[in-house]
Amino acid sequence: MDFAPDPALSRSEMESLQREIAAAATFTDDIDFTPEDVRDGDALVAGVDQAFLLDEDPERALSAVVVARGGEVIERTHAVTELSIPYIPGLLAFREGGPILAALDTLESDPDLFLFDGSGRIHYREAGLATHVGVITNTPSVGVAKSLLCGEPRASVDGLAEGERVAIDGDDQMPTDEVVGYAYQSRQFDSGRINPLYISPGHRVSAETAVEFVAACGGEYKLPEPTRQADAYADEKKQEYADTNA
């Protein structure tokens, strides 16, 4: 089976491929390491994020990957790739999946877990970016999104205390009623103004464990450290390319 996120597919072909991806995905724990291992530096976690070069035709994506073991960064890599289709809610993997796979191909280390910027199971067809790339690489993956694509929070997610989480149930536009993820307040101030992260299983991780992994990555900021590092690295490299191309 070829699950490659081919941007040339028709919209309906993309949607049916996502249903196949969801069927092949595992939303329960199938891992040989624990959140505790992540804390102790006995597991490799890779944060993946992107920056974009939109003032070009075609536009290009700069995909960055930062691998961490405990608090230390052991590898950073990136890839610059052409983008062929625009962003369409629900079809993000077909725009960014290829570019991300290109960056993962240059990795020398072999991460135990991937943290992607976007949704996993919190998706119309339970096949968001984290699930799509997770299934293709057959690597435990988690989706870390800064806003909610779909699904229904069981309770208000406003002003949660640091460490609190609220289950996200499948809604009427999704094929399941199960818990598809969690709103997770990684950081909070007394004023209670920071929005929570929306964590969901990508592949081979349950919704509960996905949150535990993010929590285990630590960091002083809202985003888990590997993701924050990847974000900064992507911006850094983007400037480099922008200057070179100027």
Partner DNA sequence: GCGACAG
Partner DNA sequence: ATCTTGTCGC
Cβ 83 to DNA, closest distance in Å? 9
Token readout for 151 is 């699904």
Before 58, cis peptide (omega within 30)? yes
Choice from 146, 154, 158, 159 touching DNA (CB under 7 A): 146
90 sits near DNA (criterion: CB under 7 A): yes
Quick one: 88 or 109, whose CB is closer to DNA? Answer: 88
Compute the distance between CA of residue 16 and CA of residue 20 in angstroms, rounded to an integer.
Answer: 6
Q: Are strands 44-53 and 60-69 parallel, antiparallel or unpaired?
A: antiparallel
Interface pick for DNA out of 28, 36, 54, 158 (rule CB under 7 A): 54
- 103 near DNA, rule: CB under 7 A: no
Residues 6+ apart with CB under 8 A from 190: none
119 or 209: CB nearest DNA: 119
Site membership for DNA, residue 214 (CB under 7 A): no
Chain CA centroid to CA 87, Å:
16
CA distances to 104, 113, 244 from 30, rounded to whole Å, are 21, 12, 44
Among 64, 66, 79, 93, binds DNA (CB under 7 A): 93
Binding residues for Mg(2+): 49, 117
Binding site for DNA (CB under 7 A): 49-52, 54, 87, 89-93, 117-119, 123, 128-130, 143, 145-150, 190-191, 234-235, 238
